[in-house]
Amino acid sequence: MVTQISQLGLLLLIAALIAMLTRRLRLPYTVGLVLGGIGLSFMPLHLDLTLTKDLIYSLFLPPLVFEAALYIHWRELRQDLPLVGLLATVGVLLAAALTASGMHFLVHWGWGAAAAFGVLIAATDPVSVIATFREAGVRGRLRLLVEAESLLNDGTAAVLFVAAVGLAAGGAADLLEVSATLLLSMGGGALCGAALGLVFMYLAGRTSDRLVEISFTTLSAYGSFFVAEHFHLSGVLAALTAGLVTGNYRRAGWSSRDTIESFWEYVAFLANSLIFLLIGAHEAQQHFGGVGLAVLAAVALVTLGRALAIYPLCALFGRGPRRVAAAHQHVLFWGGLRGALALALALGLPPDFPQRDSIVTVTFGVVAFSIFAQGLTMTPLLRRLGQL
């Protein structure tokens, strides 16, 4: 325990130094963290903190999703909810189908393994997306579209991932059953988050103690997530809704908004720092020699799948008041980063899952491409498109 705490302190020190350095060099913070994590792997230091599904999904994801939702205005989100909902559901299905088919026919993976990989890599990662766009200073509708879609599409991916894993294990996948489960998971998760968020914010409004208010927001973030997951609902969507409730809450006696936002900003900084340092440390341990072609094929397929998910669906709104500008579509396409969420799902595959090791390694390869290629070029692209 003492060793883990001391290692946590060391990682925090490294993260702080990297934050200072990347700001001076004008590099994305996430890229600097991953490089720092790769450097750590060559040091004579054994990290007891290992990258696991539980660590990413249960510890880091709830506060990151909650913190991002604090700054989303419900009135603005409501106007774009049809578009965002379509991208987060149909878009994920289209991207997953293209990637799975390509991995089956080009790399000769079995349908079960190809489907599981296609689903887990189809959803953009809210951790990577939010961190990258916040660093770039994106504002307005573009930031709302990018962040909201990355937060919502996790629910779709989680349900489809369970169905794909069941299919690979020899089960049957019924379309109506999967659709009903998806709707129940997303709708139930949103209701759970809204209910708990309202309860905790009502309690927070009954006190003027800012520390108690912060405690209630913490309970709202983690409580909504774990209660939803316990009932097999979307924990991420529950944390998102709880964050929306908290961020849009207006009540006499709500006296510590600035303090609460500062607290959650630091929590997000801490969680992002640890996630990307650990991703870098584990990237350095991957052996891509035997799956090099599979990684290249996966990167190409994931990129094409993202294009299929964005451009045709945005075209459906081409004549309405919610038309998506071409520049915004290009940013949505290239800004669909993959990261901690895909790794969490890949690492959570059963040990005896077909081609599990290959799936994990290829996922790390796609995430590396996403962080370095897309992460480093995101800000220049935004400038070129006039979005900064």
Q: How far apart are CA 361 and CA 290, in angstroms?
A: 10
Contact, 275 vs 343, CB < 8 A?
no
Q: How far apart are CA 379 and CA 377, in angstroms?
A: 6
Q: How far apart are CA 224 and CA 39, in angstroms?
A: 37
Give the pair of three-digit tokens for residue 83: 């578009």
Is the pTM above the cut of 0.75? yes
**How does residue 253 score in pLDDT terms, banded at 50, 70 and 90?**
very low
Q: How far apart are CA 81 and CA 69, in angstroms?
A: 14
Tens of pLDDT, residues 74-91:
888 888 999 999 999 899
Give the pair of three-digit tokens for residue 186: 């997303």
Q: How far apart are CA 220 and CA 58, in angstroms?
A: 14
Maximum C-alpha span of the chain: 61
Location of structure tokens 């290829």: 362
pLDDT beyond 80 at 239 = yes
Query: How much of the chain, in percent, has pLDDT values that exceed 70?
Result: 94
Quick one: pLDDT at residue 345? 87
Quick one: pLDDT at residue 174? 64
Instruction: State how far Cα 195 lies from the chain centre.
Output: 23
Contact, 146 vs 133, CB < 8 A?
yes
pLDDT beyond 80 at 188 = yes
Cβ neighbourhood burial of 134 (10 Å; 0-12, 13-18, 19+): middle
Average pLDDT over residues 284-302: 85
Give the residue from 238, 235, 237, 228 showing the smallest Cα distance to 197. Answer: 238
Q: How far apart are CA 317 and CA 313, in angstroms?
A: 7
Give the pair of three-digit tokens for residue 216: 């209630």
pLDDT beyond 80 at 264 = yes
Crossing angle for the helix pair 126-136 and 140-168, nearest 10 degrees?
Answer: 160
Average pLDDT over residues 112-125: 90
Tens of pLDDT, residues 306-330:
999 999 999 998 777 788 999 999 9
Q: How far apart are CA 210 and CA 200, in angstroms?
A: 14
Average pLDDT over residues 107-129: 87
**How does residue 170 score in pLDDT terms, banded at 50, 70 and 90?**
low
pLDDT beyond 90 at 40 = no
**How does residue 252 score in pLDDT terms, banded at 50, 70 and 90?**
very low
CATH of domain 2-384: 1.20.1530.20
Contact, 303 vs 381, CB < 8 A?
no
pLDDT beyond 70 at 19 = yes
Taking all residues of the chain, what is their mean pLDDT, rounded to a whole number?
A: 86
Q: How far apart are CA 243 and CA 175, in angstroms?
A: 32
122 half-sphere exposure, CB direction, 13 A CA radius: 38
